[in-house]
């Protein structure tokens, strides 16, 4: 679920993720109308994409490669 809000008119759009897969032009339309993505229906904070953490296994492999190269 994605929440988009227009600060000018105070209108909130609530759209499922599959809507953007079927109609990618909808995203461009919202942005052109001045909508910004927000965190939730009750939160006006701008949306921040969550940061993915590396797995420990990958970090160990990367460190091992660095040690071998030196």
User: In the chain, what are the domain boundaries?
Assistant: 2-69
More confident residue, 59 or 11: 11
On the question of pLDDT at 25 being above 80, the answer is yes
Answer yes or no: is pLDDT of 70 > 70: no
User: Closest Cα partner for 46 from 56, 35, 60, 54?
Assistant: 35
Q: What is the residue-averaged pLDDT of the chain?
A: 86
- Reported confidence tier of residue 28, pLDDT bands at 50, 70, 90: very high
Per-residue pLDDT at 54: 67
Whole-model pTM: value is 0.65
What is the share, in percent, of the chain residues with pLDDT greater than 70?
96
């Amino acid at each position: 679920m994605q929440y988009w809000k227009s600060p000018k008119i105070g209108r909130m759009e609530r759209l499922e993720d599959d809507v953007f897969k079927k109609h990618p032009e909808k995203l461009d339309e919202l942005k052109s109308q001045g909508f910004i993505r927000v965190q939730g229906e009750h939160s006006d904070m701008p949306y921040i994409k969550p940061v993915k953490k590396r797995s420990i296994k990958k970090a160990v492999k990367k460190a091992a490669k660095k040690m071998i190269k030196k």
